Structure 1
Amino acid sequence: PYLFKNGEWAEKIINSDAELQGMFDKMATSAGVRVFGAWGQRSSRAIQSTRGPIMMPEDVKGLRLRIPAIPMLRAMFDRLGAQSTPLGMLEIYSALSRGTVDGQDNGFDLAIPPRFHEAAKFWSATDHVNELVGFFGSERLWKGLNEADRELFRKASREAGMVTTQLTKQLDTDAIEILKKAGCTYVVPDIAAFRKAVAGVEDDLEGKMWPKGFVARLRKLQEA
């Protein structure tokens, strides 16, 4: 959580960092999937709740929260004391409506179109994760391309990413008005308090999901 300062930094680092590119190369070898771009800023992840606005980290304690099956997010919300439950997108509306969960973790781009705000009226812009659109394909296909054709794919991913970012920023602006018109409450919580509360939560996953020192190095790159 809070790894990148913003989406621009995420795009800059993910598409240029040598260690990350090495990790992508290993994935191409082991899984047969070639990542050739990560462009296009998605909506920042937030907490949408049925119980009330989330203003401070302690407000998350005891919250029955839907999350995707991502270990880092589970570690974050475990640290905050939430009762996190992995659910697929098609299950969220029903779970919120029936009270099976008290809230869900998502960005505007995945929460507004399915109208989750009809069931959960409180949106807290914690902005704890900046996500991008990944562009990938078969490694076997990639190996069969010459460098000029590969560059066409990379160029197309950058151009598609620019359009995605423009559309997302417009959606994010419109979403706040959509929430207000639907009688929802939109708040910006104490981001500094959230950053402090989850600081170091990635330590337990060091050496397992990424090399030791990797996260610290990416944070330091953004201090320049």
Structure 2
Amino acid sequence: MKRIRPLLAGLALASLAFAATAQPALRMAYVAPPPVWGPIADHYAKEVADRSNGELKVQSFGAGQLGSLPQNYAGLRTGQIDMMLADTGTLALAKGGKDFNALFAPYVFRDHAHFKAFMQSDTFRQMLAPVEKEAGFKYVGYVSDRSPRQLTTSNRKVLKPDDMKGLKVRVPETPAILEVMKGWGAAPTPVPAAELYLAMKQGLVDGQDNGFDAIAGAKYYEVQKYAMRIDYIQSGLMVLMAADKWSRLSPAQQKAMTEAVAATEKWASQMTWDVATKSIDTLKANGMEIVEPDLAAFRQAADKVITGFDGQLWSKGTIEKIRAVK
């Protein structure tokens, strides 16, 4: 009996120590359909669990289960959610994130390599620092490339901007994209990402913009006929965490979170490009026509709109700073 008591006491102390380090599951929100971003969210969660020796667990909620993008950003600030998996351009929706509207300015990046260079640049870090503080989140890191946004329609082949007149197109509710779509002649129509398939099926919108991988993953080929390769937005996925939650993690746990991002990015970015390439064949096999439009005409029309918003949608000179990144 004397031997059992010290053993029980030791077990009790061990349990208390584990309870002190273990954390409740961190709730990570994202708005895309689970078949599109779910594999990346799951891979990241596994990396976090492995690198924290099980102390940290990430539970993801896709398809807008925890709210829209603006609601998610507000939730990070108020503590209603713990984390976000989101497109880099959505930083414009964060409190104080006005200058990030420029990331969704069509053709602001020459190509994806230019975009990746920007995400690793001092220019990006200088833009991000005040937003992190004002919006109440920690930028944990860049977790995956996204294939360039394309245009799909159910009823019209688009070769030049004039062909878009009157088209009801669902796009992200970011000012730069909305205004450029209007400049191209389209009628941008807000629809939650989780409701987009049904909206296209019912004819509430004529088309949408997403990468080839997302188009195939969400089976939009069932309700769309044409896919125009316009490559007009370059972006990626990032992981954000509520600043208060981040500050409560130990240095070792914070390291596990950031290392998990880096490990996931290597896998996810390669997977994204592989899937995007295969997705073109999937779209063709399911009856979609891949269209090669006049990119010069789209770029020229977009630049006219973007120039007019310099100093309004973002601070004057922001576009030039981004384009100067090598």
TM-score of the two chains, using structure 2 as the length reference: 0.62
Q: Distance in 2 between matches of 1:25 and 1:149?
A: 22
**Correspondent of 1:37 among 141, 163, 167:** 141
Structure 1 residues not aligned, in runs of 5+: none
Matches within 5 A, 1:120-199: 120-143=224-247, 150=254, 152-199=256-303
* Change over 3 Å in CA distance of 1:44–1:13 after alignment to 2: same
Shift of 1:39: 4.3
Contact 2:183–2:305, Cα closer than 8 Å, also in 1:
yes
More displaced, 206-215 or 157-166?
206-215
Contact 1:27–1:34, Cα closer than 8 Å, also in 2:
no
More displaced, 203-212 or 144-153?
144-153
Matches within 5 A, 1:1-224: 1-18=106-123, 20-143=124-247, 150=254, 152-222=256-326
Q: Distance in 2 between matches of 1:200 and 1:164?
A: 35
Contact 2:175–2:313, Cα closer than 8 Å, also in 1:
no
Q: Distance in 2 between matches of 1:209 and 1:24?
A: 16
Contact 2:221–2:287, Cα closer than 8 Å, also in 1:
no
Shift of 1:38: 2.5
| DSSP 3-state at the match of 2:241 | strand
Q: Distance in 1 between matches of 2:224 and 2:209?
A: 12
Percentage of identical aligned residues: 29
Q: Distance in 2 between matches of 1:60 and 1:46?
A: 14
Shift of 1:209: 4.3
Shift of 1:144: 5.2
Shift of 1:61: 1.5
The number of equivalent residue pairs is: 221
Shift of 1:31: 1.5
Shift of 1:181: 0.9
* Change over 3 Å in CA distance of 1:159–1:8 after alignment to 2: farther
* Change over 3 Å in CA distance of 1:142–1:197 after alignment to 2: same
* Change over 3 Å in CA distance of 1:144–1:200 after alignment to 2: farther
Spell out, residue by residue over 1:26-53, the C-alpha distance to the aligned partner (whole angstroms, 9 max, x if none).
Answer: 1221121111322421121111101222
Shift of 1:217: 1.9
Spell out, residue by residue over 1:75-101, the C-alpha distance to the aligned partner (whole angstroms, 9 max, x if none).
Answer: 110110101101112222222222221
| DSSP 3-state at the match of 1:127 | strand
Q: Distance in 2 between matches of 1:28 and 1:219?
A: 23
Partner AA of 1:132 in structure 2: G
Q: Distance in 1 between matches of 2:224 and 2:183?
A: 23
- CA RMSD of the aligned region, Å? 2.1
Partner AA of 1:35 in structure 2: Y
Larger-gyration structure (1/2): 2
Shift of 1:143: 4.1
TM-score of the two chains, using structure 1 as the length reference: 0.88
Shift of 1:140: 2.7
Partner AA of 1:78 in structure 2: K
Q: Distance in 1 between matches of 2:111 and 2:230?
A: 13
